Structure formats: C-alpha cells, structure tokens
Amino acid sequence: MTIRSHVQVGKALLLTALATLVGVASASAQAKPLAGADVPKIYERLLKQIDQIPIYDNHSHATFPDDSDMDAQAAPPDETSVLRLRDTNPEFVAAAKSLFGYPYDDFKPEHAKWLIDKKKAAEASGSTAYWDSILDKLNIEICLANRVALAPYLDPKRFHWVFFVDSFLFPLNNRDQTGKNPDMGVYIPLQEKVLQRYMKQENLGGLPPDLAGYESFVRQTLADNQKKGGVAIKFEAAYFRSLYFSDPPREKAEEIYAKYHAGGVPSNEEYRTFQDYVFRVLIDQAGKLNLPVHFHSAVGIGDYFSLRNGNPLNLENVVRDPRYSKTNFVLIHGGYPYTLDMIWMTAAKNVYTDSSLMGYYVYPSELKNILKQWISLFPDRIMFGSDAFPFNDAVGAEETFWLAARSARTAVAAALAELVSEGAFNEEKALELAHMYLHDNAAKLYGAKP
C-alpha cells in the first residue's frame, strides 16, 4: 500500500467516524418534551408497517351471539354503557362496511337484517372458515378465546382456549352470595352451572367428602382442560369479591368444607376464608402446569361492580409472593382506570397486562396516551387484547374485533410517532416495540413450554 492510499484510507475512515459521531450525537441527545411537526409523517410511515404486523390477541370472546358458552357470566339486568359502545356509535357501521361491505349507514332494524342474515348463514354452515376469515381480514394470527368451552366453529389452530375457574370458589350453599345484589343474582347461578359441568366432566356425582378430595378435583380439572387445549386459566373474581386474597392455613379451609359441603349456609367470613384457600390451590396448580393466570382487573359492567375490589393493587401480595414466582399472571384490561398502577405491577418478572376492553372503552387518542406511558416503562410486559364480544345480533364480536384492532394499531402508531419525534428512539426501534405489543410478547408467553 502506498503512502497516498494510506492517506485516502485514513480520510475515508475519518469521514465514516465523523458520520457515526453525528448519528450518535443526534440519537443520544436528550429527548424533547414536545413532539415536533413531523409527527403526522412519522405516524403515516409507522402505521403502514404496523398494519403488516400479525396480531396475537391476548383476550377475546370469539362467538356467535346466541352461544351461551361465550362467557361464564351474563350481562347484568340494567347495564349502563360507555359512550363509545352505544348502538349510536358510527364506528360500528364503518366496521360492518369494512368487514362485510354492509350497504347501509345505520342499524335500523330493516337494515340490520342484512347483516344478521349473513351471520346466521355463517353459523348455520358450521364451518370454521368464517371466523378464520374474520381474523384474516384484520391480520390477526392467533387469538385467545376466553370461553366456558371451545366451539366447534372455531379453528383450534387459530383460537386458543382460556377457561374459567371462578366456579371452584362457589361449591357451598350460595344463598347469601346470590342475595347480595341483583347482579350477583345473575352471576352466581351461572358459576354453579359451570361447577356442575366440571363435576360431570370429572365423573363426580356430588361434592367430594373432604377438602383433600375437593382439591384433587380442582387440580385434575385444570390438568384435563389443559389436555383439551386450554392455554391459560381465567378469574372473573373481581365481579364477585375483592381481588385481595388472604393466606389462611389449610386446617381452617378443611374445617369450613367439612362443616358445609353437605349443607348449611356459611357466613360471609367463612366463605371468604374458604375461597382464599382454594384460590391458592388454583394458582399453585396453574404454576405447576405452566398455565398463565388471567384476572379481570379493571372496571366492570353492572350496577354493583366495585372499582376498589377490582383494583389490580389488591393482587400485589400474590404476584410478589416467592411461592408463585414461576406462575405467570396476566392482569387483563390494563387495570383500567388504574393504568399507571398496572404498568408498575408488571415490574415483577412474572406479571403481564393487556389493553383489552379499555382499548374500545376510550378513543384511540386516549389509548395512545396510555400506550405511550406503558411503552416508555415496561414494553416487554404489555400485550394487545381485543375483548371482542357481541353486543347484539347485528353488532357482533366481528365488529368489536375490528374496532379493537383498528384502535390499537392507530393508537400505538401515534404513541410511537410522538416518541420518535421527541427523540426517544428511532423508527426502527419503534417498529420493534410495536411488534412486542401486538404480537411478540404474547407469542413468547404462550409459546414457552414447561
């Protein structure tokens, strides 16, 4: 090599080093508190790519509206709905147009019939192709279906079953529980039905004579449901009681079970103690089977839902208990409205949350704010969830899948566009974070084998 070429190489190296320095300098500057005028352009670029990300949906009730297995509970008698979920929301018309080419601009009964007929025909066909096609239209790859049982019209390759376990908390005489308020009057008999169903599945003619027998029934049902395709267990407990679970000694639960399994009405305190013990059997078994534990943690429907009882902070003593460090907890619905508390709950390595339910309660502009905060803190613990659910015969789980998926894709693109514009990270990193939220975190959680 000549001296001249050494100089040239040296110059080239210097230029490269300079370019790198400039690059590093701009990427490592302090993030700005205000996003710039480039946000809409960054948003458009990101959204185009975010639309291509296949979604892993952490929570849905994929179902036809007349299928009572869609949930272990039913809507209470006099529900008041948030603004966005009322029949008057024009977004549902947009959903029906986008999914089915719905030719009308409202859901007047004579118009809605067009949509209802189409869905009834799909249900009558009995084929799994219909729901697969809904997922395909929305680029949803896998979808957890939280149901009492999987349905023959759902393709098990795409829809993975999350089964309910609250019924195990209600084996005793529920007279006082049912009488607490009109909502409980609807919920508790349905829990009793699910328990009967599990007992039949396990060939039990009645409750086992002692707590040991009851515990093995509980553990065996979880193992059998996993063999049938179950990928996680789900508690709707926040609808029935506080999410705070004490840690009673086994002898106490044994005493209560012995006293009441054949009859008699336990006091509230006795029932609570018994439930707290059985709850711990359930999460222990879920940990052993490597089944993540889902909780409804957030606001809920009905006139008697207690925000305080549903606050995710109630679960702190459980998710931070070293005995359950191998159990994964998924606190769904983002703990909404306690979304900031929620993201700090996920600071524990075995705790996750999702944006289901809240993602269609609020409009995308507000979901953007929540996701921006979450992404800035623990982006590896958050997941998309649709909570797709039928509202009536016309507006079904199909339209809520659409609303949730469109809301989340646009909101996460907007949150990331602001963060890129503010100098938090570049667009490449933004897309990696979008993948984590929409797909990768869930794929990792449910893909992990014991």
Residues that bind Zn ion in the complex, under the rule CB under 5 A: 387
CB nearer Zn ion, residue 256 or residue 362: 362
CB nearer Zn ion, residue 276 or residue 387: 387
Supply the minimum distance, in Å, between the C-beta of residue 87 and Zn ion: 20
Supply the minimum distance, in Å, between the C-beta of residue 387 and Zn ion: 4
Q: Are 116 and 154 in contact (CB under 8 A)?
A: no
CB nearer Zn ion, residue 146 or residue 421: 146
**Which residue of the chain is nearest Zn ion when measured via CB?**
387
Tokens encoding 331: 């606190």
Distance CA 237, CA 121 (A): 36
Distance CA 226, CA 41 (A): 46
Going 267 to 269 to 199 to 388, the CA torsion angle's sign is: positive
Alpha helices in 205-267 (DSSP H): 211-227, 250-260
CB nearer Zn ion, residue 387 or residue 440: 387
Tokens encoding 352: 């996750």
Distance CA 236, CA 240 (A): 8
Query: Which residues 6+ apart lie within 8 Å of 342 measured at CB?
Result: 297, 312, 331, 334, 335, 336, 353
CB nearer Zn ion, residue 260 or residue 305: 305
Helix count and strand count (H, E) for the chain = 18, 8
DSSP code for 262:
T
> What are the strands, taking DSSP E only, across 124-202?
140-146, 159-164
Q: Are 358 and 298 in contact (CB under 8 A)?
A: yes
CB nearer Zn ion, residue 234 or residue 261: 234
CB atoms within 10 A of CB 388: 28
CB nearer Zn ion, residue 387 or residue 398: 387
Distance CA 360, CA 434 (A): 18
Supply the minimum distance, in Å, between the C-beta of residue 414 and Zn ion: 25
